[in-house]
Structure 1
Amino acid sequence: MLLMIMIMIIMLLWNEDDELDTARGSSRSSNGLDLTLPSDLNFMPTLGNGHLGYTVFGDAIFMNGVYNGPAGNSKRARIPNWLNITTEVCDRFGCATDADVAVNGTSYEMDLRDGYFRSITTYNSLGLSIEQRTYPHKFFNRALVYEVVATRSTAYGTRANSPQFLRLSQHPGNASDAFEFVVVSNGSSASGDYRTIRGRTDIIEFERFQQQPQEIYIIFSQSLEEPLQLEWPTWQAEVRHRIIICIDREQSVALKELQDVLQLNANSMLQRHTDAWHNFWDRDFSIELVGNVLELSQIINAGIFYLASSLPSLSTNQVNEPFYGLSPTGLGRGNLEADYQGHNFWDTEIWMLPVVTHFGFEYGKQVLDYRSRKLEAAKYNARSKGYKGARFPWESAYTGTEVTNPCCPEVAQQEIHISPDISFALQKFFAHSGDYAWVCDKAWPIAAEVAEFLVSRAACEEFRPVCHLLNVMGPDEDHPDVDDNVYTNAVSKIALEFAEWAGEMCGNDSTELFEKWRRVSDRLLILHDTALDYHPQHAGYVVNTTIKQADTILLGYPLRYDTSTTHLNDLRIYSNVTRESGPAMTWSMFATNYLTSSQEWLGHEYFERGYKDYVRPEFKVWSETPLGFEGSANFLTGIGGFLQAMIYGYGGVNFVRDNNKTTMILRVGMSPLNVDEVHVNYLRYARNTCRWVFGPRFSNMDCGVRSGAQGNFEMVQGKKRTLLGRSFNVTLVKGDEPVYISYLE
């Protein structure tokens, strides 16, 4: 198949027949893009539904929460990709060859709006075409679907050399090294059952929190152990066929899913899937650009799609299992070290969650609930190192204990900032949602334990009001074993302050506890060089020393710890020493910080730098590192940073906890180069769903009240205070002061 002459067609989001104004430069191409497949098939699209995921043409299927291997060797357990199926057209003399295809070739289409990948092969000399479609079903989310439609031109239907059957073959790759598979049933038409395989992982992750191997069941609608031959009489214009594979921990759940899917005809089955994706684009989240910016529109919507594909479907045929978090390369990857073995990092909370929250608060809760369920493991991690409270591991998987690769023990030991990162994310989620009940139920227990860990980890001087965090590593992993990394200390101060606020708000009256936290928070050292008016990254940092990635500059956005002229000096100094091969999200953070500091042209420069060298052109799949360097594929962390730059940098919106209320900060936005307007649809704030439209001259926030919403909004601009009611519409023009809109419960 890969030897054929191929034409790539990418339809990013909207279909050909949508009556959209093409001048809006939204997300569709009327003619598609004429490209070849990526030379590295790692950069094929990765598809998922939060329960199952895979990369097109890849050799692996992965399931949410299923890992194999001990401690740092734990990785997503690879299921052979039995969905990787190809169809050939054949007659009694053999099958069609590349020569039969070469005139018109094969088109490959990633349809983001409908949520499937397909190829169409035209056999010009034979007068027929073969369409193959593959997708993880978004509503029947235990089901993976392969469909083939073969169509014959009537002019060729009676020819003697016209193909007489289709041959379907599986290409699952090598046997799995993660599972011991046993055939439960081979299936037979006589008995009415299906081929069923039970898989049991070989090695548990950590015995204290996992007593037994994990077990899954895989049920096939039809066995393809041997190639399947479908008869195609020459008089028949079309033949259709589908293969369904259902996977779950429970055999009964997988079987019910398969039976429910097979009750539907092929069109109805696809319709349930596309309806679910349409609901996401039309009700949950989308970004539209106005202007002649098709390429950027495609990158934005492809990024949204790949990020959403790793999240749980919120409306499903059967109840979802607990969600096991967002790893840097998503659910459809995780067998390789380059995929970070499917582990969870700070990437989840700092880079992806701020965007995921706008997809809907339930998505954000699903992501954060993983940390809540692993709190006991985090407390164990702290105790095992001689500390109190909860220390979340740098990398976590099934059990929530430390699973950092054995290559890099210093990373696991020293990147303690992930614990306050999680606490910071809890506070940001509250700032978005205004959900006080959630704070007390989910956020406060975590925030309290993180605060206890930070106090026990801090080293406070006896005769000076100064506390340190020693022997740490900040986000810049080129500098291990440093003292007082300024990002780590700043996010820890924020975490301690949030824990005190949450405790008081949730009815805890332990003044002794709060005083202990406050004493450390007030004294944690934030390094500042008065001569150069900048923050040294860590004790002993020498100006012009090269660093790996965004670190100190994060004190501006997202932390909002320091937005003074000192922050501008941080941006200037560290922009000149960050290495070229750094990860994608670094430049997006420079862009966001420059844009929020009204440094528009520098913002444009770093915004473009943050995606142009990181996105593969064929399917807009992201790489962790610039093209030409080794790095991860489908890099969701980079997508998250890029979308934050669009929403928070160009959009000029932010959400903060302001004492006992949440506040949305609006400033006049700006737009990327050649973009007339940006429409962010379904941005969430408190009980409302908003539409944020911004461009180089104005910004408009329109927030409509949601069903059952209570409370009111208050706006402060300068010295003017205005009660807005339960919904509001605010327009800013260039030169206006920022607006602060607070939700009053």
Structure 2
Amino acid sequence: MLGVLAAAALVVVLLATKGASLAVVENLSTETDDVSKDPHVFSTYSLPSDDRFMPSIGNGHVATNMFSDTVYMNGLYNGFKGESHRARIPSWANIRLNSTLTQNPYSPMYNLDTKHGVFTVTVDRERSVVTQRIYAHRFYTRAIVNQIQVASKHRPDPNFLHPEIWIAIKLMPGPTSVDIAFEDPIPEIIDGRTVWSVCGQTKVSEDQTYQPLPLDVCAYWTSVPDHLVVPQHGTRVFTFAMTVDKNKTIARHELIKVLQTDGEELFEKHVEQWQRLYQQAGVHIEGNLKLAKIVNGIWYYYLSSLPAEVSHQPLDRFFGLSPTGLARGGTFDDYEGHNFWDTETWMYPSILLLYPQYAHALLQYRLETAYVAAHLARSTGHKGYRFPWESAYTGTEVTQPCCPEVAEFEQHVSGCISFAARQYLATTRDEDWLKQGGCSLVTNIADFWASRAVINYTSGFYDIENVMGPDEDHSNVTNSAFTNVVAGYSMYLAQYVACLCKDYYMSREPEHYADIAWSLALPYDADLDYHPQYTGYARGEGIKQADVVLLGFPLQYPMNESTRMNDLSYYESVTRSSGPAMTWSMHAVGHLRLGDRQHAEKMFNKSYKAYVWTELRRPDVGAVNFHTGMGGFLQALMFGYAGVSVYLDRLEINRPQLPPQTTRLKIRGMKYLGANLTLDIDENDISLTATSIDDNWPLLINNGKYNVTLVPGLTVTLSGDGPFTIRSKQWKDCKVPADVIGQSYLRPIGT
């Protein structure tokens, strides 16, 4: 048995505990034990009793939790503003084998294969082996496919009273949707099969100004009999499918294509797209099967909620990555499928490093709703773009009526979007993105912060008042350290982008951005050498989650090592244990970068062992399949243990080392300025291999002793702790910004 971690990993993939306290779970067998030794496969003989812990399948267009009566579709929301949530579509793909619904002498085996993107159920019966595979097709993206294979175990027996094999099945789509006004289903015959279709519209628009009409949705599905009949010998595969789209014609054509494709070819085409993704990149763990499974499960869930690269039908517009993914979002507990700062701050950094095309898609969602952000800024008396704390279909503020404080004060989300743009430009130098809206996005976010900053004639610094940092236990504060740094970074980035964009977009003088950013107040206590969370923060007050700690990472704000250590130590002591999952991963990164491996291991273990992967520590749960917590964990591996750092003018690898109880950490397919790089850390060596290099951006690496020109196929051994710096030529002769905020509050770096 793999024990608690693998069993708990169903919150990420398949297995979950029954809600007992962690201490009990560690000493008792879990409800569902993972019996697979394959790092990509989770297998169990029993499903969790709590449906929230069921795994999901998805392809970025449609998704569902296994054996759920609900399907969700990208961009389909119902409800006015704070009531907006993913609209429930009945799951005409929820087909169950009766032998998994009732007590029977057989023991079904359930598997989630994260490498091939498929959930399977295998029932070994007396006369046959029945295998059901369920997947959201990665090429035919409107389709959820069920395939049931019945394989006879015996030769025909003429004396047997019932020569055929009967397999009872049941379609369980659940009740009528309360979100969508569907018409009556209509049957038709397609290629000799009965197919049903239904169309409808969402009942309530999110915002009449930006969405005057309801959203259309149509579904097609194959008729499902109450049993399957096969001969007493041989093998037969039955294929059933459900397709969903806002366009009826697309949904119909997709179903026809799926039904006309040979069953094995249909599955292979799906697997081919998953393999295409995994060939591009991956994070590999050796020597620690539990950890490897968790990592593979996280990437499976991320990719399940991100759009296909290649698809049969043109892809629809993408509506972002929410804290619990596409398979959830119908309830408040699942954050209703909304987009938060979670996307840019927690999920985005790891995605950017391995799959920059998806980082682009996430930024594109923000660009497409920027005009709404402009209206929000103006309505609150400010300039530029102010993005809402929560957004969904229209990009308007959709925070629940329960929580007006976060909607009003947690404005740092705009700075986090700008920081994501900064990291994207640093790793891609994508000039087309700048031309197609990036310049405007960066500049308008800077305009917002410039209009929020007010000079304090007593201190001589600019204050930003009436905000809330990531710590949601304290609202309406002045000079939140985190908020002021991301605001300052936003303005510095606008100065830099003004240089990059001047040839084709901007003409105005940007120096005022740097002047304001340089003079923003940054709370700092010189006696205690740490950053108070905001102006007036009373030392000893408890906080909800990582806040000031985020200055060190992901923001990488320059400070003395003593200040960084004091921030980590102090805020660890006052962060409440009931906070969300991602906090301790940032503490782990901080200690790793300071060289305190022992304390880093403690924080790393704390970041996932009690969560894997719920929002809150067990026995509390919160959101399930919590992508935000997963993102923090990945960052602890990639930017903590692997030591990768992204800056505007370089990529650094600093103090690379192995995670606990592992023999190898390999990050394959890191993308930097068009190059494809692999960082390989094992017990004996650390190396960097260049698979390909973009001729436009030649790269030099300092390996600890010498500068080496990277060429395709070259492997460079990295000696010592680093930092190992990878650079290219300067971009358009534009000088990177100083990125210093409230300088007089800090001791000189290095003293």
Q: TM-score, normalised by structure 2?
A: 0.88
Contact kept? 1:62, 1:78, Cα under 8 Å: yes
Deviations 1:166-199 (A, max 9, x none): 3332112222111001136311369877321102
For residue 230 of structure 2, what is the aligned residue in structure 1? 232
CA distance in 2, matches of 1:361, 1:202: 36
Deviations 1:100-124 (A, max 9, x none): 32xxx1110001111100111223x
Structure 1 counterpart of 2:637, one-letter code: M
Contact kept? 2:42, 2:113, Cα under 8 Å: no
Contact kept? 2:151, 2:234, Cα under 8 Å: yes
Give how far 1:321 is off. 0.8
CA distance in 1, matches of 2:403, 2:40: 48
Q: Against the structure 1 CA distance between its residues 208 and 452, is the aligned structure 2 distance closer, same or farther, given a 3 Å change threshold?
A: same
Structure 2 counterpart of 1:109, one-letter code: N
Contact kept? 1:8, 1:33, Cα under 8 Å: no
Alignment of 1:87-236 (within 5 A): 87-88=97-98, 98-101=103-106, 105-123=107-125, 126-154=126-154, 159-160=160-161, 164-183=165-184, 185-188=186-189, 194-220=195-221, 222-224=222-224, 227-233=225-231, 235-236=232-233
Q: Against the structure 1 CA distance between its residues 681 and 352, is the aligned structure 2 distance closer, same or farther, given a 3 Å change threshold?
A: same
3-state SS of paired residue (2:680): strand
Deviations 1:504-524 (A, max 9, x none): 210079786523322321221
1:294 to 289, 293, 300: 289
Contact kept? 2:701, 2:724, Cα under 8 Å: no
Deviations 1:536-583 (A, max 9, x none): 011222222211111001111110113422111100101111111211
1:637 to 618, 623, 628: 628
For residue 19 of structure 1, what is the aligned residue in structure 2? none
Matched, 1:399 2:394: yes
Q: Against the structure 1 CA distance between its residues 27 and 499, is the aligned structure 2 distance closer, same or farther, given a 3 Å change threshold?
A: farther
Give how far 1:684 is off. 0.9
Deviations 1:140-191 (A, max 9, x none): 1111101111233216855336765333321122221110011363113698
Give how far 1:50 is off. 0.6
CA distance in 2, matches of 1:30, 1:203: 41
CA distance in 2, matches of 1:117, 1:96: 17
Deviations 1:70-127 (A, max 9, x none): 00000001111221111337xxxxx9962332xxx1110001111100111223xx33
Structure 2 counterpart of 1:51, one-letter code: H
For residue 427 of structure 1, what is the aligned residue in structure 2? 422
3-state SS of paired residue (1:271): helix
3-state SS of paired residue (1:541): coil
Contact kept? 1:198, 1:218, Cα under 8 Å: yes
2:514 to 518, 523, 526: 518
Give how far 1:726 is off. 7.2
CA distance in 1, matches of 2:40, 2:496: 53
For residue 530 of structure 1, what is the aligned residue in structure 2? 526
CA distance in 1, matches of 2:259, 2:581: 43
Q: Against the structure 1 CA distance between its residues 211 and 33, is the aligned structure 2 distance closer, same or farther, given a 3 Å change threshold?
A: closer
Contact kept? 1:107, 1:121, Cα under 8 Å: yes
2:671 to 673, 678, 684: 684
3-state SS of paired residue (1:568): helix
For residue 81 of structure 1, what is the aligned residue in structure 2? 91
User: How many residues of Structure 1 are paired with residues of Structure 2 in the alignment?
Assistant: 699
Matched, 1:264 2:261: yes
Structure 1 counterpart of 2:212, one-letter code: Q
For residue 714 of structure 1, what is the aligned residue in structure 2? 700
Give 5+ residue unaligned stretches, structure 1.
Answer: 1-6, 14-25, 90-94, 616-621
Alignment of 1:600-611 (within 5 A): 600-611=597-608
Q: Against the structure 1 CA distance between its residues 735 and 591, is the aligned structure 2 distance closer, same or farther, given a 3 Å change threshold?
A: closer
Alignment of 1:585-734 (within 5 A): 585-615=582-612, 622-658=613-649, 663-695=650-682, 698-705=685-692, 709-716=695-702, 723-724=709-710, 729-734=715-720
Give how far 1:699 is off. 2.1
Q: Against the structure 1 CA distance between its residues 318 and 484, is the aligned structure 2 distance closer, same or farther, given a 3 Å change threshold?
A: same
CA distance in 2, matches of 1:189, 1:463: 78
Structure 1 counterpart of 2:137, one-letter code: H
**Residue range with higher mean Cα deviation, 162-171 or 296-305:** 162-171
Contact kept? 1:285, 1:358, Cα under 8 Å: no
Give how far 1:345 is off. 0.3
3-state SS of paired residue (1:437): helix
Contact kept? 2:653, 2:722, Cα under 8 Å: no
CA distance in 2, matches of 1:420, 1:648: 21
For residue 29 of structure 2, what is the aligned residue in structure 1? none
Give how far 1:724 is off. 4.3
Structure 2 counterpart of 1:213, one-letter code: P
Deviations 1:433-491 (A, max 9, x none): 12233234332111111111111122222454211111111001111111111000011
**Residue range with higher mean Cα deviation, 324-333 or 577-586:** 577-586
Contact kept? 2:615, 2:629, Cα under 8 Å: yes
CA distance in 1, matches of 2:485, 2:42: 47
**Residue range with higher mean Cα deviation, 690-699 or 305-314:** 690-699
Give how far 1:40 is off. 1.7
Contact kept? 2:544, 2:575, Cα under 8 Å: yes
Contact kept? 1:352, 1:640, Cα under 8 Å: yes
CA distance in 2, matches of 1:328, 1:231: 43
3-state SS of paired residue (2:397): coil
Give 5+ residue unaligned stretches, structure 2.
Answer: 1-6, 14-35, 732-751
Structure 1 counterpart of 2:129, one-letter code: S
Contact kept? 2:410, 2:467, Cα under 8 Å: yes
Structure 1 counterpart of 2:141, one-letter code: N
1:496 to 491, 495, 499: 491
Structure 2 counterpart of 1:218, one-letter code: A
**Residue range with higher mean Cα deviation, 485-494 or 155-164:** 155-164
Deviations 1:525-544 (A, max 9, x none): 00000110000011222222
Deviations 1:616-666 (A, max 9, x none): xxxxxx2111120131011111111111111110001111103xxxx1112
Contact kept? 2:43, 2:111, Cα under 8 Å: no
1:411 to 406, 412, 417: 406
3-state SS of paired residue (1:712): coil
Q: How many percent identity over aligned positions?
A: 33
After TM superposition, the runs of 4+ consecutive aligned structure 1 residues lying more than 4 A away are 7-10, 29-35, 155-158, 161-164, 189-193, 508-513, 716-728
For residue 567 of structure 1, what is the aligned residue in structure 2? 564
CA distance in 2, matches of 1:433, 1:578: 36
Q: Against the structure 1 CA distance between its residues 157 and 345, is the aligned structure 2 distance closer, same or farther, given a 3 Å change threshold?
A: farther
Contact kept? 2:46, 2:110, Cα under 8 Å: no
Matched, 1:457 2:452: yes
CA distance in 2, matches of 1:155, 1:546: 71
Give how far 1:716 is off. 4.8
CA distance in 2, matches of 1:119, 1:9: 18
CA distance in 2, matches of 1:290, 1:720: 30
CA distance in 1, matches of 2:526, 2:40: 57
CA distance in 2, matches of 1:361, 1:99: 48
Give how far 1:731 is off. 2.0
Contact kept? 1:434, 1:743, Cα under 8 Å: no
Q: Against the structure 1 CA distance between its residues 563 and 404, is the aligned structure 2 distance closer, same or farther, given a 3 Å change threshold?
A: same
**Residue range with higher mean Cα deviation, 504-513 or 326-335:** 504-513
Structure 2 counterpart of 1:196, one-letter code: S
3-state SS of paired residue (1:701): strand
Structure 2 counterpart of 1:185, one-letter code: I
CA distance in 1, matches of 2:129, 2:414: 55
3-state SS of paired residue (2:479): coil
CA distance in 1, matches of 2:502, 2:101: 73
Give how far 1:27 is off. 7.7
For residue 475 of structure 2, what is the aligned residue in structure 1? 480
CA distance in 2, matches of 1:284, 1:551: 34
Q: Against the structure 1 CA distance between its residues 561 and 38, is the aligned structure 2 distance closer, same or farther, given a 3 Å change threshold?
A: same
**Residue range with higher mean Cα deviation, 55-64 or 33-42:** 33-42
Q: Against the structure 1 CA distance between its residues 61 and 99, is the aligned structure 2 distance closer, same or farther, given a 3 Å change threshold?
A: closer
Contact kept? 1:717, 1:740, Cα under 8 Å: no
